[in-house]
Amino acid sequence: MFNRFGKFLFKKRSVTPLPFIVVFPFIFGKAPLLFPVEDPFWLLVICSVFIIYGEAVRMGAVSYIGSISRTRGTATGNLIVDGPYALCRNPLYAGNFFIFAGFVFTANNIIYIAAALILFFIQYLYIIKFEEEVLREKFGETYLVYKRSVPSIFPRPEAVFKLENYRGFNAGRAIKSERWTLIAVLLFIAIPFICYYYSRVLPSPFDRVLEIITGIFS
């Protein structure tokens, strides 16, 4: 059961953020607010930096692992244990966290942020457990040794400062593999700023929907 659900989420991991994107314009800047600011412009800027950082982490990872990171099947290449994968076993998912968290925090809505992050961690808990089982079956004790010595998501402080973990970056391979993710990242940055602009000159989509419904039943 655990592995079946993890496999399902693994295959659908590119589309699971879509509901949060669809809902975003309706809750942008709505109470209960996490940060009680009248003008959230700088909040959007700071969150955009987190999104860009998350994509930088992903690009560093895919420059090592290549296009295999785009697959939805269980086929794997060689076990990668150097570069970003010496920092943590799942640098792609660490990058995803910064991208997704940067996006949802721009909404500044406590309920939306809490729901998004809880579901994110549940999803990747299942995905990582599923992938670990696949890697254990393929690489056996070699993978188990790697698993015991390297954290899953958050690097150990001493590993962060080892320069050899940052060598060998291949920009061409990273950009080729990440071209669709780069488009998604641009959308994650653009959507909050578009909502911010329209919240300053027009009623929010949520207010407009309520106005239409009220008009129908009045």
pLDDT at position 208: 58
Sorted by sequence, the CB contacts under 8 Å of residue 28 that are 6+ apart come out as: 106, 107, 108, 109, 192, 195, 196, 199, 204
What is the residue-level pLDDT of the chain in tens, covering all 218 positions?
557 777 777 787 778 888 888 888 888 888 899 999 888 999 999 999 999 999 999 998 888 776 555 444 454 568 888 888 889 999 999 999 999 999 999 999 999 999 999 999 999 999 999 999 999 999 999 999 999 999 999 888 877 777 666 666 777 778 888 888 899 899 999 999 988 888 776 555 556 555 666 666 65
Q: Other CB atoms closer than 10 Å to residue 3's CB: what's the count?
A: 13
pTM: predicted TM-score of the whole model, two decimal places:
0.84
- Residue 1, pLDDT score: 55
In DSSP notation, 135-178 reads HHHHHTHHHHHHHHHS-SSSPPHHHHT-GGGG----HHHHHHHH
* pLDDT given at position 70: 44
| pLDDT of res. 215 | 65
Q: Which residues pair with 109 in a beta bridge?
A: 33
Q: Positive or negative, the Cα torsion across 162, 168, 169, 175?
A: negative
